[in-house]
Amino acid sequence: MPELPEVETTKRGVEPYVKNETIKKILVRNNKLRIPFNKNLAKKIINVDIKEIKRRAKYIIFEFVNGYSVVIHLGMTGNLRVSKKIKYLKHDHIIFYLSSGNVLIYNDVRRFGLIQIYKTKESYFLLDNNGPDPFEKEANADYLFSRIKNSTASIKSILLNHKIISGIGNIYASEILFATNISPTRIGKKISYDECKNILIESKKILRKAIKAGGTTLNDYFNAESKPGYFKIQLKVYGRDGEKCKSCKSNISKITQSNRSTYYCKESQN
Ligand SMILES: [Zn+2]
């Protein structure tokens, strides 16, 4: 599943091809996405300059100069690619013809993603449900501490709860907790203010590293299918059950929390 670093990489990848361009035409080949593309609003964005490309949590947003926006979520398997020539691949569902002559193609095998046009100032309901991601200013220690200080949920599930903090996926949650020496089973109200601070510092560090790793694949962006950033960063605990911890001599454990795998060191994290 594309995580925040892959979404940021995608955003950076398409930005130079989309910014200050207009969309001439939109072709919908298959509209059975998580929420069908609301193409009835397409006329609002055709031939209108795209002034900015943004990312909020795992959503990519194109802002048009006339007060409309397009939000894109990649779902489980979605990806965007820019191409000069139109050679349709299987699962190419929505195609934007750009003023430059390039095409921007949304491909999604499992179709859990979405593309929606909305009025920028009215926002989009899915965006409103998201807490800040670790890079946003609101995501400071005061915020995190106040959101979790009465919580009896495990810190692992808190990190995956996008209503509290968005953009931290399952792999990164294990890595962040290892970096902060916090056990994934500890509950929210047992996490100190300083630990909240640390969690945010390490979240940014780890995500930034993954974004950087993902960024190196941008050179062959035209070939699309860039590998997710986490394949390129060294994971310290995720997927390493039974192997030696990198800071003590214990073995890494694997447990299941809310149906998701968690990896951690029982010695180093408590
Ligand atoms: Zn250890």
Choosing from 74, 107, 128, the residue where a domain stops is 128
Give distance in angstroms: CA of 146 to centre of ligand 1.
Answer: 29
| Residue 94, pLDDT score | 96
For residue 30, what are the domain limits? Answer: 4-128
Q: What are phi and psi of 45, to 5 degrees?
A: -115, -5
- 253 in the same domain as 171: yes
| Residue 85, pLDDT score | 78
Look at residue 136 and tell me if it is in a domain. Answer: no
Q: What is the CATH number for 61?
A: 3.20.190.10
Half-sphere exposure of 11 (CA within 13 A, CB side): 24
Look at residue 247 and tell me if it is in a domain. Answer: yes
- Closest among 134, 215, 117 to 175, alpha carbons compared: 134
From the list 2, 5, 132, 134, the catalytic residue is 2
- Do 58 and 4 meet the contact criterion of CB atoms below 8 Å apart? yes
Look at residue 135 and tell me if it is in a domain. Answer: no
| Residue 40, pLDDT score | 95
| Residue 267, pLDDT score | 97
Look at residue 201 and tell me if it is in a domain. Answer: yes
Active site residue 3: yes
Q: What share of the chain is helix, strand, coil (3-state, %, to 5)?
A: 35, 25, 45
Choosing from 99, 128, 157, the residue where a domain stops is 128
∠ CA 218-221-227, nearest 5°, is 70
| Residues 164-187 as b or e (16 or more Cβ within 10 Å = b) | bbbbbbbbbbbbbbbbbebbbbbe
Active site residue 209: no
Active site residue 138: no
- 237 in the same domain as 259: yes
Q: How far apart are CA 37 and CA 31, in angstroms?
A: 6
Give distance in angstroms: CA of 180 to centre of ligand 1.
Answer: 12
**Count of structural domains within the chain:** 2
Q: What is the CATH number for 182?
A: 1.10.8.50
From the list 186, 260, 266, 267, the catalytic residue is 260
In the structure encoding, which two tokens stand for residue 216, read together? 């190196």
In the three-class reduction of DSSP (H, G, I as helix; E, B as strand; rest coil), residue 226 is classed as coil
Determine the length of the chain: 270
Look at residue 133 and tell me if it is in a domain. Answer: no
How far the first Cα of the chain sits from its last, in Å, is 29
**Residue 231, Cβ neighbours under 10 Å: how many?**
11
Q: Say whether pTM exceeds 0.75.
A: yes
Look at residue 21 and tell me if it is in a domain. Answer: yes
- 124 in the same domain as 146: no
Active site residue 134: no
Choosing from 80, 96, 128, the residue where a domain stops is 128
Contacts of 196 (CB under 8 A, 6+ apart): 141, 144, 145, 148
- 122 in the same domain as 14: yes
Give distance in angstroms: CA of 224 to centre of ligand 1.
Answer: 38
Q: What pLDDT tens digit does each residue of the chain (270 aa) get? A: 778 888 898 998 899 999 999 999 999 999 999 999 999 999 999 999 999 999 988 899 999 999 999 999 998 888 898 888 778 889 999 999 999 999 999 999 999 999 999 999 998 888 888 899 999 999 999 999 999 999 999 999 999 999 999 989 899 999 999 999 999 999 999 999 999 999 999 999 999 988 887 654 433 333 344 455 555 678 899 999 999 999 998 999 999 999 999 999 999 999
| Residue 5, pLDDT score | 85
Give distance in angstroms: CA of 178 to centre of ligand 1.
Answer: 9
- 121 in the same domain as 148: no
Look at residue 134 and tell me if it is in a domain. Answer: no
